[in-house]
Structure 1
């Protein structure tokens, strides 16, 4: 590996790229790993040993691969295993339904930081930050697929109080870990068929959000984000919280705008949106997913679009303004492996962007040399990236190449296969 790395370093140096500096810069790009991949978005509201209720809200998990986490302790153990195989220091992203209430039923509008104390302690021990999400689905008061924009004021108020509680939980997480918690609001609200009134639900949603965000919280501890979606199952014809709605809300109120790579039309790409929206919003929450024909939340892989997103982040100098998190759930494969594949793919895209000899491509563009621009872009694709990635993994003490898969298979044999 040493010889390959030295050759790679020389090749990149010929293009003006400092490989060692690129590796060091990776520490500025933590990835928030989503808890819900580990247990198929079940959460812990149901009594131990019982399956949670129907997800609703357009969410669906396919597959029944053995070994999913059944308890918070199992989920934390699985996350520890994944983190041990991923280079760098990262974050963990929780939903409200992952509260630990000691077997006592606690309604979502009554949740508090104490119900996440063990998660906070685990994160402190691991030296990682936490992010958080209210859970506006999988609940009797969300059975209609409408929450914060509901026409019934009592239903709407329940979800408003849930949002308020979750912001306080996020702030407590941020204070305890010493790293701001991004608390992200997504609601499934919409209509399966053509609605008669598109205006009133959006007015109600805006008013509800104003109530949710009314309590001032220190941005040192909590950052508020709002997330749009094009459509969902059961909301094919109308989504209240569209991209235009939330972009306007984020601009007006100084909130983070969440861009989910699966939440747009298949011909729209988030890579093109980043430099546009960051002209107007303070920060962006980026949910990295992989839609296949629709928002299907497949495991993230090193795709052209993921590379393009990473390139925009690095070239734009947006590292401090973009919070990267994953959002997928696949129960057809080993769930721990899914985490590792998704995070490592995201990191490969980021390292590739940090190694990109962008300056010479930009110089050609500024000179009007469009032939040179295209030629250089193509030549850069075959620079010896793999040797640099392997060195990065080696420096962080995790397996390079596919060596991590052996560790996951051992974990499956010794731990996951014994869960019944």
Structure 2
């Protein structure tokens, strides 16, 4: 049975201090009443608290906000760690809080924990304990101070990664000596859609209806073109505070849809940062009363889908003659297209139709500055003979551990047979000549192996 303790004198003094300096604009009646009482000097701070509780229409909310913003550092060295992990669907995020004795600087200082896997769709009720291993820490923008967000992955009691733990396999690939030597960089463009809470219809859209056609919304400004900017800006600042390497944000082509970019990050760090940024966005939309969707095609019809384009380069690609290394990696990617597509997000076939800046899901292609290809190479990369490439196939709900690890594996570790590589190179050359002759857009299509 929990023991109920009365507040200490120190805490009573703190509460009195908070409410004696209370300035939140609630109602003019409440403010004027407090001023009159302060002038008369007839009431103590506890009476001021009663006035707030009785007279203010928003008193409960106001007191709650004060407690949420309470600075506990003068009274304890303890901090709150929010353990975050991925649930049974592979895209849902779960979290719970734990008190840590003192501030920490590394995940190894944080104790392992467990949770009920039968309630997250990851185990049965007979043997339901799943163990959390802390892997990355970020500053907590919601609680502030030394409090932290902890990205974890999940294991059985015997220390085996559970099937939904994709981080473990990614860590093995990124710890390979060849991969380490290539210092893989990732820049991930996370698109998402904001939905009205009760109707699950995009923010800013008329209920049961549609806005004007696409065109003015991409990077648009104005009440009739930009919906949800406060959420996007709040998320931007919260990520910077947390230590996430967020590099930008913008309104997307479909109204109510936004994008932010994370990177460049090295190796598995990119996926850790994306997962933490997603968690922060979930929390912000929760507070705003808006539903966050990572569906790759939230609205059917003539509307853009939502992707998670992944920019990638290796040390060899960034050095002189790196363009040839990029083209070799593209050949590898073409030969493993089906394997990549199967791991690039649920429902991606509704998005990769060949329309709305995509290529068909059953086709592999690449081109310079062409957003209708599977792989886009920037003009500067072609001009400078080195740089990076962009994989435009991943859906907005992709698992960044899976996608980044696959790109590193296919580009650095995987070696095709000489026959397959020669055939892919030959097909690429023939398709390029055909495109040039017919005047088609500069996108090179590669015949996929059967």
TM above 0.5: no
Query: Which has the higher Rg, Structure 1 or Structure 2?
Result: 2
TM-score normalised by length of structure 2: 0.29
* Structure possessing the higher relative contact order (Cα contacts under 8 Å, 6 or more residues apart): 1
**TM-score under structure 1 normalisation?**
0.30
Flag the structure with higher helix content. 1
